[in-house]
């Protein structure tokens, strides 16, 4: 199991893509991505993430694409995507996460005929 500590990528301000697919990451501490000013693509798929806090994506103001699929996320704070205001595409395993990122132009999976953001967020 691996933790991304605060300032893990500090000094990599020119990095545009960060692929952390399948790295057994179970925790991302607040400010882990501080310093990645140019990052537009972040792949966190197939890890062991169970929790995303409001601080998880802090510092990723230019992020356009985020892949969170293949994790076991149980708790996600409602303002987690506020730190990524330019996010356009979000890949997840559950539509409920899309309800927290309504500003994206593409969020997968799509809702089924029984689920709406209003229904999911009231639970």
DSSP characters over 59-122: T-TT--EEE-TT----EE-TTGGGG-TT--EEE-S-HHHHTT-TT-SEEESPP-TT--HHHHHH
Angstrom distance (rounded) from CA 85 to CA 31:
16
Closest CA to 68 of 107, 10, 99, 104: 107
Structural domain total, the chain: 1
At 17, list the tokens: 């893509």
Closest CA to 34 of 52, 53, 61: 61
Beta bridge partners of 4: 28
Q: For every one of its 123 residues, what pLDDT tens digit does the chain have, with 9 covering 90 and above?
A: 699 999 999 999 999 999 999 999 999 999 999 999 999 999 999 999 999 999 999 999 999 999 999 999 999 999 999 999 999 999 999 999 999 999 999 999 988 766 678 665 555
At 2, list the tokens: 């691996």
Q: Which residue has the tokens 């005929």?
A: 113
Q: Report pLDDT for 82.
A: 95
| CATH number of domain containing 46 | 3.80.10.10
pTM assigned to the model: 0.91
Angstrom distance (rounded) from CA 79 to CA 22:
25
Q: Which range marks the domain in which residue 117 is found?
A: 1-123
Q: Report pLDDT for 1.
A: 60
């Amino acid at each position: 199991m691996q933790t991304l500590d605060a300032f893990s990528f500090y000094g990599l301000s020119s990095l545009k893509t960060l692929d952390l697919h399948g790295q057994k990451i179970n925790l991302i501490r607040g400010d882990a991505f501080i310093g990645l000013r140019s990052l537009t693509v972040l792949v966190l798929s197939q890890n062991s993430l169970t929790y995303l806090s409001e601080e998880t994506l802090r510092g990723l103001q230019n992020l356009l694409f985020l892949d969170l699929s293949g994790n076991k996320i149980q708790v996600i704070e409602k303002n987690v995507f506020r730190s990524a205001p330019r996010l356009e595409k979000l890949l997840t395993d559950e539509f409920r996460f899309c309800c927290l990122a309504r500003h994206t132009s593409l969020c997968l999976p799509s809702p089924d005929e029984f689920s709406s953001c209003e229904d999911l967020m009231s639970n």
